[in-house]
Amino acid sequence: MIENLLTYIIFTPLVGALVVLLLPKSQSHLYRIVALVAMAVTLVLAIVAVTNFDTSVAGLTNSESQIQLTQKTEWFSIEMGDLGKFSVDYFVGVDGLNLSLLLLAAIVLFIGAISSWTVEHKKKGYFGLYLLLASSILGCFVALDFFLFYLFFEFMLLPMYFLIGIWGGPRREYAAIKFFLYTLVGSILILIVMIGLYNSVYDPFKTGVEAGIFEASVLPTEEMIIDVQQGVQNGAIDDADIVKSFNMISMADDANYLPYSILGRNSFGEIFGQSARWMAFLALLIGFAIKLPAFPFHTWLPDAHVEAPTPVSVVLAGILLKIGGYGIIRTAFSFFPDAAYHYSWLIGFFGLFSILYGAMNALAQKDLKKLIAYSSVSHMGFVLLGLAAMTVEGVTGAIYQMFSHGLISSMLFLIAGVIYDRTHDRGIENYGGLANQMPKYTVMVTIAFFASLGLPGFSGFIAELMVFIGAFKSYGVIGAIPYWMPIVATAGLVLGAGYYLWTLQRMFFGKFWVKDKAWKEHLTDLNLREYLMLVPLVVLILWFGIYPATLLDLIGNSVEGFTQLISESIQK
């Protein structure tokens, strides 16, 4: 069971999707139950994965032995004569970098399934696609073979495109196409680098087996791997025996790059007179920054959010954005730490700029969902700032921010959905004094807003604090980003308070007033289903704000390993 756990997690929703497809139209009331059950099972499995995660294992993120719950089988391989062997694995596993996000995905997808309860239009398609989306998201977080990762990454686009394009708001088609094309541009950049990496990286274990140094059945030790690596570097191993690989863990180790390969650390490959590694890093960074999204690649986000139905917005903001951050950590920073260091100022600056720019834009929005969308841009800026710091605190903060924002933004979009369900209008200026009419809803909104503006006690505060202290420390420890960046970034907190409190005051306080008198009777307070979605989120947000150790113990070792590798790498 445990050996295949991650596989079960990936494929449970897919099985659910199949069930939905096979159920006849006459049983359409069962679709949502299937979806809910599938997501509940996935959530339970994800929790099992967390409880089975050994927090004592050191977390060097370039060492396969320190990845847990792994499953690795050859998917296909092609012999290419003198060019060696082309090999793609079904390789999944977790470490501190992705475990928290896997858990987050399971939680948010489950909440999204509850939120989908009221979908009435073309149910079969909706729930089928939702479950398909769930599978590809979960797969994306645990895949450790770049080919597999890319497959999941690309496959997310398809259900997402239809979910926005069919079940969305009035401008759904525009938004869906924009989302699709924008992300596709990013994917292409990632694809190019992936091909470059494939040409440069080999799998030392498989190469050792191929070259006959050891048997496939043995458990490779550090020394054996180093043996192979040295063999490849000094040409002792025949080119034909080299097994090229998409293994993302191998890619994170400079020693696994072929000598004289374009992206090798010591081969100084160049493209257009620029270091190939730097170019590859930038391509990956931009590819994932689109997903994150960071300024100036964020303009797909407001449209996609505004048009997407509530549960899809929740999944989009809650998880999809995090794939951007995760991708930057797992690929760009892990593969090319030297380039990351070279560009750290720029990354930090774009993080800082996103924080302020997103917040300023949120301040000007008249549509509640757009406001929340821009606040996401602002909050994701902290992820970049924390990563650019390259300190343990900064990277911890970045991951914590992703997790925390996943919960908080889910709650925010659910809240926007509550009002939209009732009146089909999200204009901030079309409401006033809702606290009189919907006091319990107002309490939830206040909690969500204060959580999002980083009030201590909620998870967002821990994340932002970590980013700040990590970023300030950065210059003294590693020299990545200057002192003024985190200081200026604190202004984002004031702007955050500004747009949230202003919204609260305009929509919820004052005398009750709505633009259309007919709305009044629809504006009922929260119902049970809404409580079921919101209360668990409140509990989680508080929990991770008060007991951060719950999450930090899971991610701690890997973050330490990750930053250690970076600092070792830049000292080379």
Partner 1 sequence: MDINDIIIVTDFNPLIFWILALLGIPLLSFFTATFLKKNAPLWASTLLFANLLVAIYLAIEYWGTQGVTIRGDWFGIGDTRFTYSFFIDQLALIMLLVVNFIALLVHFFSIEYMRHDAQKARYFGLLGLFTFSMLGIVLFNDLLFIFIFWELVGLSSYLLIGFWFEKKSASLAANKAFIMNRIGDLGFLTGLMILYAQFQTFDLEGIKSLTILSSIEDGNWIAEYFKNGELVRNSLDGRWLSAAGIALFCGAVGKSAQFPLQVWLPDAMEGPTPVSALIHAATMVAAGVFMIARIFVILDAQALEVIAVVGAITAFMAAVAALSQFDIKKVLAYSTISQLGYMVLAMGVGAYTAGLFHLVTHAMFKAGLFLSAGTIIHQLHQLETEETRFDTQDMRVMGGLRKFMPFTFFCFLICALALAGIPGFTGFLSKDAILLDTAVWIDEKGGGFYFIEVLAFATVLLTAFYTFRMIFLVFTGTFRLPNLVDKSVTLKPLKDGNIFLKLPAVLLAIGSFSLVFGLSFKAEDTWFYQVIQNPIFLVPEPYAAFNLIDIPLEYFEFLHARVVTISIILALAGLVTAFLMYRPGARFATSFPEKREPIGFFRQISFYHWYQNALYEKVILKFILMMSRWLAWFDEKVLDGFVNMIAKLQVVIAHLVAWFDKNIVDGFVHLTTYTTGKVGQMTRSIQSGNVQGYIMAAMAFLILMLIWLLF
- Cβ at position 559, least distance to partner 1 in Å: 8
Assess 435 for contact with partner 1 (CB under 8 A): yes
> By CB under 8 A, is residue 469 in contact with partner 1?
yes
As a whole number of angstroms, the distance between CA 396 and CA 381 comes to 14
- Of the candidate spans 113-121, 432-440, 514-522, 527-535, the one that interacts with partner 1 by CB under 8 A turns out to be 432-440
Cross-strand partners of 145: 247
Near partner 1 by CB under 8 A: residue from 127, 130, 182, 441: 182
Q: Which of 409, 404, 441 is nearest to 305 (CA)?
A: 409
Q: Does residue 513 belong to the site contacting partner 1 (CB under 8 A)?
A: no
* CB-based contacts of 417, cutoff 8 Å, min separation 6: 115, 310, 311, 313, 314
- Residue type at 65? S
SS3 sequence, 202-233?
ECHHHHHHHCCCCCCCCCCCHHHHHHHHHHHH
* 361 in contact with partner 1 (CB under 8 A): yes
What is the per-residue binding string for partner 1 in 216-255, x denoting contact by CB under 8 A? ----------------------------------------
**Residue among 4, 52, 230, 490 that touches partner 1 (CB under 8 A):** 490
How do strand 243-245 and strand 85-94 relate by DSSP bridges?
parallel
Q: Applying CB under 8 A, does 476 fall inside the site for partner 1? A: yes
305 touches partner 1 (CB under 8 A): no
**How many other CB atoms are there within 10 angstroms of residue 354's CB atom?**
30
Q: Which member of 493, 514, 534, 554 binds partner 1 (CB under 8 A)?
A: 493
188 binds partner 1 (CB under 8 A): no
Q: What is the largest CA-CA distance in the chain?
A: 82
Q: Minimum Å distance from CB 220 to partner 1?
A: 29
Between 2 and 494, name the residue whose CB sits nearer to partner 1. 494
Residue 212: CB minimum distance to partner 1, A: 42
Pick from 559, 565, 566, 570: which binds partner 1 (CB under 8 A)? 559
510: region left, alpha or beta (phi > 0 left; psi from -120 to 50 alpha): left
* Residue 116 vs 557, nearer CB to partner 1: 557
Q: Per DSSP, what are the bridge partners of residue 201? A: 257
Cα(368)–Cα(373) distance, rounded to whole angstroms? Answer: 9
Q: Does 56 bind partner 1 (CB under 8 A)?
A: no
DSSP 7-20: HHHHHHHHHHHHHH
Q: Give every CB contact of residue 262 below 8 A, 6+ residues apart in sequence.
A: 196, 199, 200, 269, 271, 276
Per rule CB under 8 A, is residue 330 in the interface with partner 1?
Answer: no
Instruction: Choose which of 21, 23, 497, 532 interacts with partner 1 (CB under 8 A).
Output: 497
78, 271, 487, 539: which one binds partner 1 (CB under 8 A): 487
Applying CB under 8 A, which part among 47-55, 137-145, 165-173, 361-369 lies near partner 1? Answer: 361-369
Using the contact rule CB under 8 A, the part of the chain among 135-143, 155-163, 193-201, 390-398 near partner 1 is 390-398
Task: Write the CA distances from 36 to 119, 142, 536, integer angstroms.
Answer: 13, 22, 16
166 contributes a contact to partner 1 by CB under 8 A:
no
Nearest distance in Å: CB 384, partner 1: 18
* Smallest gap from residue 406 Cβ to partner 1 (A): 20
Least distance to partner 1, CB of residue 560, Å:
5
Binding-site size for partner 1 (CB under 8 A) equals: 55
Residues 6+ apart with CB under 8 A from 403: 100, 101, 103, 104, 322, 459, 463, 544, 551
In the bound state with partner 1, the residue whose beta carbon lies nearer, of 166 and 465, is 465
178 lines the binding site for partner 1 (CB under 8 A): yes
Tokens 């025996």 locate to 241
Give yes or no for residue 364 binding partner 1 (CB under 8 A): yes
Among 169, 498, 532, 567, binds partner 1 (CB under 8 A): 498
Considering the rule CB under 8 A, would residue 502 count as an interface residue with partner 1? Answer: yes
Residue 353 near partner 1 by CB under 8 A = no
Binds partner 1 (CB under 8 A): choice among 259, 427, 457, 479: 457
* DSSP output for 400-464: HHHHHHHHHHHHHHHHHHHHHHHHS--BGGGEE-HHHH-HHHHHHHHHHHHHHTT-TTSHHHHHH
Burial 478-517 (b: 16+ CB within 10 A, else e): bebbbeebbeebeebbebbbebbeebbebbbeeeeebeee
Nearest to 142 by CA among 289, 316, 12, 310: 12
- CB of 422: closest distance to partner 1 in angstroms? 21
CB within 8 Å of 177: residues ≥ 6 apart: 161, 165
Cα 84 to Cα 15: distance, rounded to the nearest angstrom: 37
> Is residue 491 a contact residue for partner 1 (CB under 8 A)?
yes
Taking CB under 8 A as the rule, does residue 27 contact partner 1?
no
Residue 70 in the binding site for partner 1 (CB under 8 A)? no
Q: How far apart are CA 535 and CA 516, in angstroms?
A: 30
Footprint of partner 1 (CB under 8 A): 178, 181-182, 296, 299-300, 357, 360-361, 363-365, 392-393, 396, 433, 435-436, 450, 455-457, 461, 465-466, 468-469, 471-473, 476, 486-487, 490-491, 493-494, 497-498, 501-502, 504-505, 508-511, 547-549, 552, 556, 559-560, 563
